[in-house]
Structure 1
Amino acid sequence: MRRTRAAAACAVTASLLTAATACGGGSTTGGGSNDSPKTLTYWASNQGASIEVDKKVLQPELDKFQKQTGIKVKLEVVPWSDLLNRILTAATSGQGPDVLNIGNSWSASLQATGALLPWDAKNLAKIGGKDRFVDSALGSTGARGKDPAAVPLYSMAYALYYNKKMFADAGITKPPTTLDELIADGKKLSKDGKWGLGIEAGSPVENLLRGFVFAKQHGTDFFTADGKPDFTNDAAVAGIKQFVDLMAKDKIAAPGNAEYAQNQSVSDFAKGKTAMLVWQSASANLKSQGMADDAYGVAPVPVQSGTPGADKQVNSTVAGINLAVFKNTDNLDGATKFVKFMTSDGEQKILNTAYGSIPPVKTAQDDPAFNTPANAVLKDTLAKSAVALPQVPDESQFETTVGAAVKGLFADAAAGRPVTTDSVKAALEKAQQQMPAK
């Protein structure tokens, strides 16, 4: 049954799947073993400005781990556009890495495949115990009532990044706090070949994450209380249309953003081509692209009206990266040691500083590096106004289908085709039809 669910997820995205290949770390025996005690294969997600940046951040730490344990870690940094499909292919084929990064919102879906090692009390004790981790981060590690399918590695939230000079030149004295202010400021800033807001509209995952927040502000979760897809309700349609209208109607985002899918909107912001960016923990990414810390400000993402908070005032998903172990690893002991190493206080400080994220390990958060003004916004958002994506087994398919639907709507907007309530509803209806039958 678990393999059938994963196969259905793969079928949804068959046109995007890459061929399953043996990655040198996974066992084909179906159960964890220690047949290869001196090697591990690690799939890391692309967190920095580029894959090369990630390699420069991670390789010294992997070398440190090898020196401590004698275990060599083979690193592959996987782009977000490929990561979920690569994982699903590995889950169904039984051949993949030993350890991997997953988007925290995928935890319940990947848990349902049965491919990931459960982090029960015994396994958690090997890495210092459950109590080391922040509760909000643990809330996105798998379905409620089950042992976590992964452990938190990086915690992130969305914030509004704004170019101080571009704001001053346009006579704008403070960052917007409401959607109307965001649009009004964006129109003032969209001139002379520059744009008010950057959007990663070619990325299904990014579209889903931002679209979900817009829809949530209208009062929907996209799923009924019993976990059935409900993508075409009025609130979902209104939220998604409002998001796409930033390009289609309000025209504060460049039509070319409809093709952006891998940090291009961050690059545009760093180069002064756009004045505002809504992004997950972007400070380190911007620094790596040469943007000075004092060139931009960081503020909470605007809401419909009022101030960020719970329910319809949410302004971010509970974003983050979890670290998982494939159950069929050839080096179960080494994989566990690697997870312990990556979630140690020292490594948490190094890695989260490098990526501008927040450590999900409580004691690591005490470091002064995580008490900057930018991080204060992120921590406050995570504590007060961020919401987890639905922790349902079909969550990864939800991201894929709705994210692709929103991508198509942005393509319509970029091409000058009308984006209407009816066209948004039709796109969401098509997405819902692609979900696994209940």
Structure 2
Amino acid sequence: MRTRRIRVAATTAVVLSLTVAATACGGGTAGTSGSGGGGSTKTLTYWASNQGPGIEADKKVLQPELDRFTQRTGIKVKLEVVPWSDLLNRILTATTSGQGPDVLNIGNTWSASLQATGALLPWDGKNFAAIGGRDRFVDSALGSTGSRGADPAAVPLYSMAYALYYNKKMFRQAGITKPPTTWDELVADGKRLTAHGGSAIGVEGANLANNIHQVYVLAKQHGGDFFTPDGKADFTSDAAVAAVKQYVDLMAAHKIVAPGNAEYAQNQSLSDFAKGRTAMVLWQTPTATFASQGMTEDEWGVAPVPVPSGAPGRGTSVNSMVAGINMAVFKNTRNLEGALEFVKFMTSDEEQKTLNKAYGSMPSVKGAQADPAFATPSLTVVRDTLATSAVPLPQVAQESQFETVVGTAVKKLFADAAAGRPLTTEAVRAELDEAQQQMPDQ
């Protein structure tokens, strides 16, 4: 067993935040201007996640809606769109310093980790009632809002799931008549595609969160997990090792992923796909990004992510994690009433339709999902996946550390594969063992 410990910023920050949460949440220091420096109670600060092709694109989507909220309520909203590369560390810093926004977006997989800091407002019955009630939200989305048995730490805003997107022209040129439904079919199709001069499938080998999303689902397909039922890290289980090896083997053994993908971390695989350089990509609702790069909807098709049996469903036929964005409120906001009013506005049926249409995602409230705009082929696959074959990532306090250390282990293995080094089961297990040594209480 290797015991070398690598200090990871996100891990350290979460552990620190657990020790100082009482200080961070007790003094009401995060004012409605977002910095604790006073400010009018008629102003809220909102950190939005980067959902579109770029920061400016998000501002164009969100600002008109925030202006509409101000017109209705008299409450101004100061918007900051935070890149994903910065968002988690920004939030963790805010939980320890008290210098944060009033309302913020979080990746839904972080809900339990951020809940453990004590900095976020619990969504009890009273707070849910203030935004129209818990029953308005889709059950699968509510499953990724915090630890089991506790009041949610956030409410769902945008719902997503992974699907397989494929280039119709490249498939025709390779003589492939339908998208693969099993991993064996995907590998076989991939080899036919590379034989015709293209790259078969894109990955984001240096994107830690994306690595986790893919290997967690594969672990479920192998009948296991990265955590024990009581929430303890178990990164070297046979299922976890098999999942990581299967994913990296798309490059290492099957040669259907270009070696350069080992360095991708910022949606480069989507750009390759949109520009016809790659025939397939696994992603969450990327249609807006495709369109921004000039790819029309008739150029690509969509299918569920493959499973061993070819038939997505429960159990080992899981083919996506429950992806999405949640909306949270810092407990020490000086304008709780205004923050609740803003969350109510953003999760209203009207706004859910507007925002999710703009981003190509699914509404998280039942009333908005009935809109015909969400019955496109792509979103039908997403909706069906969320309803029948998706599971939340572990809702445990160590989830953000899990994303960091195991995501980094997968990144290292992709780098080895790109360099031509052999990928053995022993090498995978050793990397995952090292990752587990970096987890708290291991």
Fold agreement, TM-score > 0.5: yes
Aligned CA RMSD, in angstroms, stands at: 2.0
Cα distance in 1 for partners of 2:181, 2:10 equals: 41
Residue equivalent to 2:212:
208
Matched, 1:87 2:85: no
Code of the aligned partner of 1:105? T
Query: Residue 27 of structure 2 aligns with which residue?
Result: 29
Matched residues in 1 for 2:48 and 2:197: separation?
36
Deviation at 1:11, TM superposition (A): 6.1
- Aligned AA (1:289): Q
Which residue matches 1:379? 383
Q: What CA deviation, in whole Å up to 9, does each residue of 1:225-250 have, x standing for no partner? A: 22111000111101100001111111
Aligned to 1:132: 136
Deviation at residue 95 of structure 1 after TM alignment = 1.3
Match of 2:372 in 1: 368
Q: Which residue of 2 aligns with 1:40?
A: 44
Residue equivalent to 1:97 = 101
Matched, 1:272 2:276: yes
Alignment partners' CA distance in 2, 1:61 and 1:13: 37
Contact 1:10 1:88 in 2 (8 A): no
Q: How many residue pairs were aligned? A: 421
Name the SS for the 2:210 alignment partner: helix
- Out of 329, 340, 351, the residue aligned to residue 355 of structure 2 is 351
Q: Which residue of 122, 127, 130 corresponds with 1:123?
A: 127
In structure 1, what is the equivalent of residue 4 of structure 2?
A: none
Q: Distance in 1 between matches of 2:408 and 2:83?
A: 17
In the alignment, is the contact (CA less than 8 A) between 1:220 and 1:235 conserved in 2? Answer: yes
2:57 corresponds to 1:57: no
Q: How does 1:248-259 map to 2 (within 5 A)?
A: 248-259=252-263
Deviation digits for residues 109-129 of structure 1, max 9, x if unmatched?
111100000111111111101
Output the CA distance in 1 between the equivalents of 2:237 and 2:111: 26
Superposition TM-score, scaled by structure 2 size: 0.91
Q: 242-251 or 26-35, which moves further after superposition?
A: 26-35
Matches of 1:426 and 1:52, distance apart in 2: 42
CA gap of 1:44–1:193, structure 2 versus 1, over 3 A, is farther
CA distance in 1, matches of 2:160, 2:354: 15
CA positional deviation for 1:212: 0.6
Q: CA deviation at 1:331?
A: 2.3
CA contact (8 A) 1:27 1:329 kept: no
Match for residue 395 of structure 2? 391
SS in 1 for 2:363: coil
The answer to whether the Cα contact below 8 Å between 2:199 and 2:256 also exists between their aligned partners in 1 is yes
- Deviation of 1:42 (Å): 1.4
Residues 41, 98 of structure 1: 8 Å contact kept: yes
Q: How many percent of aligned residue pairs carry the same amino acid?
A: 72
The answer to whether the 8 A contact 1:13-1:400 is kept is no
How much has 1:191 moved relative to structure 2? 5.0
Structure 2 residue corresponding to 1:307, chosen from 307, 311, 317: 311
> Could you give the per-residue CA deviations for residues 23-46 of structure 1, whole angstroms, max 9, x where no partner exists?
xxx998337877631222211112
Deviates more, 1:279-288 or 1:238-247: 279-288
Q: Is residue 183–residue 308 contact of structure 2 (8 Å, CA) maintained in 1? A: yes
Identify the residue that residue 297 of structure 1 maps to in structure 2: 301
Q: Residue type of the partner of 1:29?
A: G
Equivalent residue in structure 2 for 1:433, among 434, 437, 441 = 437
Range with greater deviation from structure 2 (328-337 or 365-374): 328-337
Which stretch has the larger CA shift, 189-198 or 149-158? Answer: 189-198
1:244 aligns with 2:248: yes
The 3 A distance-change label for structure 1 pair 396 and 207 is: same
AA of the residue aligned to 1:30: G
Shift of 1:312: 1.1
State whether residues 9 and 88 of structure 1, in contact with CA within 8 Å, keep that contact through their aligned partners in structure 2: no
TM-aligned CA distance change 1:11 to 1:124, over 3 Å: closer
User: Letter of the aligned partner of 2:307 in structure 1?
Assistant: V
Task: Give a deviation string over 1:205-262, Cα, whole Å, max 9, x none.
Answer: 0000111111111111211122111000111101100001111111111111111112
Give ranges in structure 2 of 5+ residues lacking alignment.
Answer: 1-6, 17-23, 33-37
In structure 2, what is the Cα distance between the partners aligned to 1:406 and 1:85?
Answer: 21
